[in-house]
């Protein structure tokens, strides 16, 4: 007789919204309780990013400095970086305490002719004892299998926002395309890294809906990056109104409660955040950051600032497999 998978409770929008709207102290208490049940609350995972191919992207994501379609002055497009250089940069990241190395390319999807180099990068970085992550745009099932075979641990592909708001931000690929890539990544046996951006003019409903979609995937993503929009001059969203810090913290808390076993990453936008806001994000259950002076193209607080913040908060970097 066929065995059935256990029934899984799906999140409703109404329940998620109820949690988002709790009095702040109650929301934080619930998020901390869930966090402590699943993680050491004083450990934060450190990932490091590298742009292996910058600019000249054919997609029209309204927030991105790398789109060839942005209204303002464009970044100069680079070629795919040499494999040796990627590995040298990964060595530096490891020496700085990062446990995961994430390589990003400004592509709609990888071209078959690029796959050999990308595979060599994964093998080289993996060989250093780092976890590997890539974000290269949409993946076919074959490409996903090839990356998995090469040793890729995580693939990042964000939903970015709710299905409803999505077409205001991106028109060259659909929300359904994004879900398909996530399912190809999962089917290939890789871990999923998927999240979004706050502060793009979305409503609270959009934020909640994006998290409901992520939490209700067949398996929740192991890694959930929550980015605060970095308003980049020349992009469609350069003038977007900043999100209120406490709303940002609320969204992190909701992600923690809805995806209790995932690493929630306080991602882009930390240079514009006070140390106190970042501390609230950690209290709300964020337990991963990007370290280093740069993200892909934009600034990030450097090692010194983060080391001092961690010291003041009594936070330690999470070791590989650092779950309690």
Catalytic positions, written as ranges: 57, 61, 64, 102, 133, 193, 265
Six-digit token string for 9? 């409770």
Question: How far apart are alpha carbons 282 and 43 in whole angstroms?
Answer: 10
| Kind of pairing between the strands at 100-105 and 316-317 | unpaired
Closest to ligand DTB by CB, 35 or 100: 100
Tell which phi-psi region holds residue 194, choosing left (phi > 0), alpha (psi between -120 and 50) or beta. Answer: beta
Pattern 10-49, ligand SAM, x by CB under 6 A: ----------------------------------------
Question: Do 20 and 252 form a contact (C-beta atoms < 8 A)?
Answer: no
**Running DSSP on this structure, what letter comes out for residue 160?**
B
What does the CA dihedral 135, 138, 144, 148 come to, rounded to 10 degrees? 10
Considering only 45, 47, 51, 67, the residue that binds ligand SF4 (CB under 6 A) is: 67
- The reply to whether 158 sits near ligand DTB by the rule CB under 6 A is yes
Site for ligand DTB contains 65 (CB under 6 A): yes
Residue 45 β-bridge partners: 288
Q: Pick between residue 298 and residue 319 the one whose CB is nearest to ligand DTB.
A: 298
| Partner touching 67 among ligand DTB, ligand SF4, ligand SAM, none, CB below 5 to 8 Å by kind | ligand SF4
d(CA 191, CA 298): 26
Residue 223 vs 235, nearer CB to ligand SF4: 235
Of 94 and 108, which CB lies nearer to ligand SAM in the complex structure?
108
For residue 5, give every residue at least 6 positions away whose Cβ sits within 8 Å of its Cβ, in sequence order, or none.
none
Residue 107 binding ligand SAM, by CB under 6 A: yes
Q: What residues contact 127, with CB distance under 8 A and at least 6 apart?
A: none
Q: Which stretch binds ligand DTB (CB under 6 A): 11-19, 21-29, 246-254, 293-301?
A: 293-301
Is residue 225 at the binding interface for ligand DTB, with CB under 6 A as the rule? yes
Binding site for ligand SF4 (CB under 6 A): 57, 59, 61, 64, 66-67, 106, 137
């Amino acid at each position: 007789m066929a065995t059935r998978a256990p029934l899984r409770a799906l999140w409703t929008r109404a329940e998620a919204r109820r949690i988002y709207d709790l009095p702040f102290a109650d929301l934080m208490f619930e998020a901390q309780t869930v966090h402590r049940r699943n993680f050491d609350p004083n450990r934060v995972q450190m990932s490091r990013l590298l742009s292996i191919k910058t600019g000249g992207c054919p997609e029209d994501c309204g927030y991105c400095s790398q789109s060839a379609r942005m209204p303002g002055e464009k970044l100069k497009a680079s070629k795919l970086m040499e494999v040796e250089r990627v590995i040298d940069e990964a060595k530096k990241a490891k020496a700085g305490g990062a446990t995961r190395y994430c390589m990003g390319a400004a592509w709609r999807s990888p071209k078959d002719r690029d796959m050999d180099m990308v595979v060599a990068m994964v093998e080289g970085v993996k060989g250093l004892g780092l976890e590997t992550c890539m974000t290269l745009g949409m993946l076919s099932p074959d490409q996903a299998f090839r990356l998995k075979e090469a040793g890729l641990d995580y693939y990042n592909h964000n939903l970015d926002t709710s299905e409803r708001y999505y077409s205001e931000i991106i028109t060259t690929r659909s929300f359904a395309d994004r879900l398909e890539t996530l399912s190809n990544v999962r089917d290939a046996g890789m871990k999923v890294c998927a999240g979004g951006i706050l502060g793009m003019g979305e409503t609270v409903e959009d934020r909640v809906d994006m998290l409901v979609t992520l939490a209700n995937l067949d398996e929740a993503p192991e890694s959930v990056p929550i980015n605060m929009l970095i308003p980049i001059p020349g992009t469609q969203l350069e003038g977007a109104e900043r999100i209120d810090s406490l709303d940002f913290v609320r969204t992190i808390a909701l992600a923690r409660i809805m995806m209790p076993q995932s690493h929630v990453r306080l991602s882009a936008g930390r240079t514009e955040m006070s140390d106190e806001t970042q501390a609230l994000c950690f209290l709300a259950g964020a337990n991963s950051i990007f370290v280093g002076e740069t993200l892909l193209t934009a600034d990030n607080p450097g090692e010194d600032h983060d080391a001092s913040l961690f010291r003041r908060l009594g936070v330690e970097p999470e070791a590989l497999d650092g779950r309690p």
